[in-house]
Structure 1
Amino acid sequence: MRPFSLFPRLAAVAVFSMLMLTGSAEAQKTQTKKGSYPAAEGFDQAGSDPKAIAIADKVMNAMGGYDAWRNTRYLAWSFFGGQYQIWDKYTGDFHWERDTLVANYNLNTKKGEVYSRGQDISATPAGQKVLDRLTPIWINNSYWLVMPFKLKDSGVTLTYKGEGKTMDGAAADILQMTFKNVGVTPQNRYEILVNKATNLVEEWAYFPKATDEQPAFRRRWNDYAKHGQLLLAAGRDEATKPSRLDNIAAAQTIPAGVMTSKTPVAKLK
């Protein structure tokens, strides 16, 4: 088994609301007023700008709407470095793979199993190391996929920073995300560029510290495609360096045994 490392850990800040991890399918399917996007409990409503909140609502609607986001059960994607994962938003189950290493874990109970070439290594130091890192892995990797759906999450302060241009010259509104007492790195800051014509996030910049003047990276957020009821973006290019998330899928049902498989599974479509 290759030594395990967590990579790239550049954006591990989000605390996903427990509503996304728990609750029955019936609770998930409760409909909201059309066009509404209720903030998560703990969202900094008082410290956030009304204009920024209104733009966040437009982003949610452009990507499918709040009900489509909440009612989508499974999300799957490949992350940089060869990690493939499937997240059950209803139960909190998380199936994660890297090469011949496989983990089946529950984000609520923080319990699971790790397999190397189909053999259970959960009780070994290497297996325990993987289990200890799976929640941070999920936080980081899922944020790279679904950040635009998390603009009004717990602990987030959302402010409007004015108008600007994306790397590709599109007119954009600039939102700033900062965090209070949440996540594994709450000192982070993000700038989110929302295309004024499409209401879609087209670029983001990551600042390791909220006081940093220059970002650690600035990347495109593009190449959108419909997955189930959601519009999700695969492109994460830097200015001159192509990069993307692959094997993106959204589903309501998956083949039996996928979330408990001891070996790598066929990629969801």
Structure 2
Amino acid sequence: MKTIITIKILVLFFFFSLNTSKVTSQNSDEKAIAIAEEVVNAMGGLDNYNNTKFIKWDFGKRKLFWDKWTGDVRIESPTDSLTILVNINSLTGKAFKGNTLVEDDSETEKLLNQGKNWWINDSYWLVMPWKLQDPGVNLTYVKTEKLPNGNSADVLQLTFNAVGVTPENKYYVYVDQTDKLIKQWSFFKSFNDEDPKFTMLWDNYQKSGNILLSFDRSVFGPKNVIVKQDFKEKLFTDLKYE
């Protein structure tokens, strides 16, 4: 349990655009960019990702609902007796402790920020492959290495240009040369670190809507993913939505 808690704290990603586009940093190299585009195509293509409206998933003990088009997010955290309804663009919304609306402005603001940070972390574990060419990402080809399944993988390094919450982080992602899917990632707390804090598998890719996502993995990660275009609007406005 301690390992899982540590992992969730470490991967607090720096920024997150709602949809993605090809605005790669000038510090990225051409080989890495080409491989990243192969990843996106293997997972369904950029248009299909951007056209995906609604994603629901579980991460640890939290349940998250995300309207990608508006930035509205609902987070249910039973262990904290919290339900947070936040728009991650405007940081507006409301929070409930149990069945009671939090009415204190400063406490509400704190909880909305907490909700956004949870979403940043939890969604990156789900849709990271789609974010390789986001603005501020430096993408570099590092090496070729064998995966646990025996296939060769292209290893890409992600560093960041002074953006978001933790720009000092670094990641390695391992792209299987056979099917062009990310099968493993490593997290480094600092871009100067030689050894990662962890290396974990990305497996069990499943078709979700019109895209591929890795979930219900053999090790820690997002679970019970649902991708669809329609949902109940009250999810993002009311405590009770049934």
Structure 2 length-normalised TM? 0.90
Q: Which moved more, 1:68-77 or 1:228-237?
A: 228-237
Helix, strand or coil at the partner of 2:149: coil
Instruction: Give the Cα–Cα distance (whole angstroms) in 2 for the partners of residues 245 and 47 of structure 1.
Output: 31
* CA distance, structure 2, for counterparts of residue 169 and residue 14 of structure 1: 33
Task: Measure the CA separation in 2 of the matches of 1:202 and 1:66.
Answer: 19
CA spacing shift, 1:7–1:169, aligned 2, 3 Å: closer
Distance 2:21 2:114 in 1: 30
Alpha carbons of structure 1 residues 122 and 164: separation in structure 2 relative to 1, 3 Å: farther
Give the aligned residue type for 1:208: K
* Paired position in structure 2 for 1:54: 34
Task: Answer with 99-108 or 254-263: which moved more.
Answer: 254-263
Q: Structure 1: how far apart are the matches of 2:8 and 2:57? A: 15
Aligned partner letter, 1:83:
R
Q: Which moved more, 1:113-122 or 1:213-222?
A: 113-122
Unaligned runs of 5+ in 1: 21-36
Structure with the bigger percentage of helix: 2
- 2:54 maps to amino acid: Y
Paired with 1:60 and 1:262, the residues of 2 have a C-alpha distance of 36
Task: Work out the CA distance in 1 between the residues paired with 2:108 and 2:57.
Answer: 23
Q: Distance in 2 between matches of 1:236 and 1:109?
A: 33
Quick one: structure 1 residues 162 and 213, their matched pair in 2 at CA, closer, same or farther if it must change by over 3 Å?
same
Could you tell me how far apart the structure 2 residues matched to 1:256 and 1:143 are? Answer: 24
Shift of 1:141: 1.2
Q: Contact conserved, 1:107 with 1:135, CA < 8 A, in 2?
A: yes
Aligned to 1:23: none
**Cα offsets for 1:176-206 (capped at 9, x unmatched):** 0000111200000000000100100000000
Could you tell me the TM-score, scaled by structure 1's length? 0.81
Pairs aligned (count):
236
> What root-mean-square deviation, in Å, do the aligned CA atoms of Structure 1 and Structure 2 show?
2.2
Match of 2:74 among 88, 95, 99: 95
Equivalence for 1:255: 232
Q: How does 1:123-162 map to 2 (within 5 A)?
A: 123=104, 127-162=108-143
Residue type at the aligned position of 1:62: A
Gap runs ≥5 in structure 2: none
Deviations 1:136-191 (CA, angstroms, capped at 9, x unpaired): 22211111110000000111000001210123332111000000111200000000
The equivalent residue for 1:246 is 223
Q: 1:179 to 1:69 in 2, by over 3 A?
A: same
Which piece of structure 1 moves more, 122-131 or 171-180?
Answer: 122-131
Q: Corresponding residue for 1:232?
A: 213
CA distance in 2: counterparts of 1:209 and 1:72, whole angstroms: 33
Instruction: Identify the residue that residue 79 of structure 1 maps to in structure 2.
Output: 59
Residues 125 and 221, structure 2, Cα contact 8 Å, conserved in 1: no
Aligned to 2:152: 171
Q: 2:16 is aligned with what amino acid?
A: F
| Corresponding position of 2:44 | 64
Aligned residue type for 1:146: V
